[in-house]
Amino acid sequence: MTSTAFLTGITGQDGSYLAELLLEKGYEVHGLIRRSSSFNTGRLDDVYEDPHDPDRRLFLHYGDLSDGVSLINLLRDINPDEIYNLGAQSHVRVSFDQPVFTGDVTGIAAMRLLEAVRAAGVGSRIYQASSSEMFGATPPPQDELTPFYPRSPYGVAKLYAYWATRNYREAYGVFAVNGILFNHESPRRGETFVTRKVTRAVARIKAGMQKELYLGNLDAVRDWGYAPEYVEAMWRMLQHPEPEDFVIATNTAYTVRDFVELAFEHAGLDWREHVRYDPRYERPTEVDALIGDATKAKTLLGWEPSVRTPELARIMVDADIQLLDDELAGRLVRID
């Protein structure tokens, strides 16, 4: 029998890779999308199916994590085997500008979804996209037993969602798990996260379209992995016989400066000639160092990352150079 999955955040980086993975595995995939005045389904182009195709397995539904009733109605109609809650206001810096909104969509919405599952009477397994940002100021390495100390409204909101997930597991016996994922990136990463901001700028600087790149704190340490490998871990968590929480990470440490250097070097550029400081990209409270220990995922899920930060930087730079070439070629074709 075909398994059915419901994804919030399907239009985001992780949602698009997870949708691809689940479709490859034969799932019927239902995704929640927000109504937007401009297209927001670009990351799904490769898997998009004509709504008139009777054999299609990808279905997109309008809705919003702030609208609990629509969640109940959708879940009742779809009755999914698996739910992946990936939707969020996911930008840490922006969460300081929109703390209450972030609290609602990134935090309380997880509770809304859990309640919707109960109200709709569906027996779905639930994955909650928890974050290494919950560890915040607690020094590395961080694993499933590390105490939390969030340093942003985003981190605080994710902590609420984390505990809501655990509480529903304990209170109602729901199969609900937290994947505590460390930073993971890809060519589909949002353009305002630091890795993508850097690799996009590298492509434009190399093409002579930009001279300078403004960044904030270059000293922060992060454990950057490759998003397609991380969505595989999400799926494995829901196939595990017991509902348990897992850290997903590469257990390696690079500073933002290291990433910048790797990306510029790959394109044959000297970053010192182009990178400038702008305090607007600093956060009121910073997370200095995140380095994850994913031993539990390796032992129980057989999950291990293969792409490390230097290769990730190369993948992203190459993709952004290619993307820019395609855009420029497209413009030339239109002019002709």
Beta bridge partners of 30: 6, 59
| Residue 182, amino acid | F
CA-CA-CA-CA dihedral for 182, 164, 23, 185, to nearest 10: -20
Please report the sign of the dihedral spanned by the C-alpha atoms of residue 247, residue 253, residue 257, residue 262: negative
> Closest approach of Cβ 192 to ligand GDR, in Å?
6
Write out the DSSP string of 290-308.
Answer: --B--HHHHHHH-------
From residue 45 to residue 64, the character string flagging contacts with ligand NDP as x (rule: CB under 6 A) and all else as - is -------------------x
Rounded CA gap, 76 and 80, in Å?
9
Comparing CB distances to ligand NDP, the nearer of 8 and 250 is 8
Comparing CB distances to ligand NDP, the nearer of 87 and 140 is 87
Contact between 195 and ligand NDP (CB under 6 A)?
no
Burial 278-289 (b: 16+ CB within 10 A, else e): eeeeebeebbeb
> Closest approach of Cβ 206 to ligand NDP, in Å?
25
Beta bridge partners of 298: none
Select from 4, 8, 11, 90 the one that contacts ligand GDR (CB under 6 A): 90
- Beta strands (DSSP E) in 38-197 are 58-62, 82-85, 125-131, 176-181, 184-185
Active site residue 154: yes
Select from 104, 216, 318, 324 the one that contacts ligand GDR (CB under 6 A): 216
Instruction: Calculate helix-pair angle for 309-335, 256-266, nearest 10 degrees.
Output: 50
Contact between 222 and ligand GDR (CB under 6 A)?
yes
Active site residue 160: no
Catalytic residue of the set 17, 27, 154, 254: 154
Catalytic residue of the set 16, 90, 131, 132: 131
Comparing CB distances to ligand GDR, the nearer of 175 and 226 is 226
From residue 188 to residue 207, the character string flagging contacts with ligand GDR as x (rule: CB under 6 A) and all else as - is ----xxx--x----------
Rounded CA gap, 21 and 36, in Å?
25
Which span sits near ligand NDP by CB under 6 A: 6-14, 164-172, 213-221, 274-282? 6-14
Residues 91/193, Cβ–Cβ less than 8 Å: yes
Binder of residue 143, out of ligand GDR, ligand NDP, none (CB less than 5 to 8 A by kind): none
Select from 20, 133, 143, 245 the one that contacts ligand GDR (CB under 6 A): 133
Active site residue 131: yes
Which span sits near ligand NDP by CB under 6 A: 47-55, 83-91, 211-219, 261-269? 83-91
C-alpha distances out from residue 131 to 29, 146, 154, 182, Å: 24, 13, 9, 6
**C-alpha 181 chain-centroid distance:** 9
Select from 74, 75, 129, 231 the one that contacts ligand NDP (CB under 6 A): 129
Rounded CA gap, 305 and 91, in Å?
24
**Interface with ligand GDR (CB under 6 A):** 90, 92-93, 131-133, 182-183, 192-194, 197, 215-217, 220, 222, 256, 281, 283, 286
Question: Which positions are annotated as active-site residues?
Answer: 131, 133, 154
> Which residues form the interface with ligand NDP (CB under 6 A)?
8-9, 11-15, 32, 34, 36, 40, 64-66, 86-90, 105, 129, 131, 181, 183-184, 190
